[in-house]
Amino acid sequence: MLLTVLAAVLWWMPPREDDSAPETPGREARSRPPPQPVDTAAPTPSRPVAPQATLAGEPDAGSALPAPEQTPAPEAAREHPVNLEKLREQMPDNLYWELGAPTKDPEILRRREEQTRHWNALLGKVQSNTATEEEIHQYYDHRRAVSEDFIAFASRVLQEHGAQLSEQERGLYELSIQMHRTRLEEIPRQVQDALARKETQDRRREEWRRGKQGP
């Protein structure tokens, strides 16, 4: 399927503060400069890509735009410019490979499920105001790193192959960039809100304990 990679790019989106959907796993935060403007100059075509993915049942799958059901002719498939192997060589540490790259490898899928449970548990603590300050920062640093990496991946595809992609494919990559940039803009406020809720909850717990102890 020609647009499977695009579905994977758009598939992972962290939940908003009021979302109930769980978050996908990832790694600790890494600082990096803001993504550069996309240059869509026509590159030299690379080898064809034929990624495979099974996104059904993956966490937060409803945030993705599904890939259109289509079976391209063999010749058209061979000419598709996006080469995942080459991109992985260029940006091997990008979280896209850990979280969104199409795979049927059972070990990779097992790790994704395991980390999903970890980040879901931490999200639950943040939402219930029982997370420590360190855990709050850990959770949102993770979200920041994921969005930055997905922006970097989509931007690289557009920079190297944008002129060769169909209008629909370019639009999906651009949408992924826009959605993750919106998430990044929301994170500072969400961190402040989580810390404020924790402080309020801690104060109430302390007042309750003092009341139980009596004068």
Residue pLDDT, tens place only, 74-101: 544 455 688 899 999 999 999 999 998 9
Closest CA to 104 of 164, 54, 45: 54
Q: Output the average pLDDT for the chain.
A: 74
- Domain coordinates in residue numbering, the chain: 80-215
Task: Give dist(CA 141, CA 144) in Å, integer.
Answer: 5
Residue 23 has pLDDT above 70, yes or no: no
Cα 48 to chain centroid distance, Å, stands at: 25
Give the pTM. Answer: 0.66
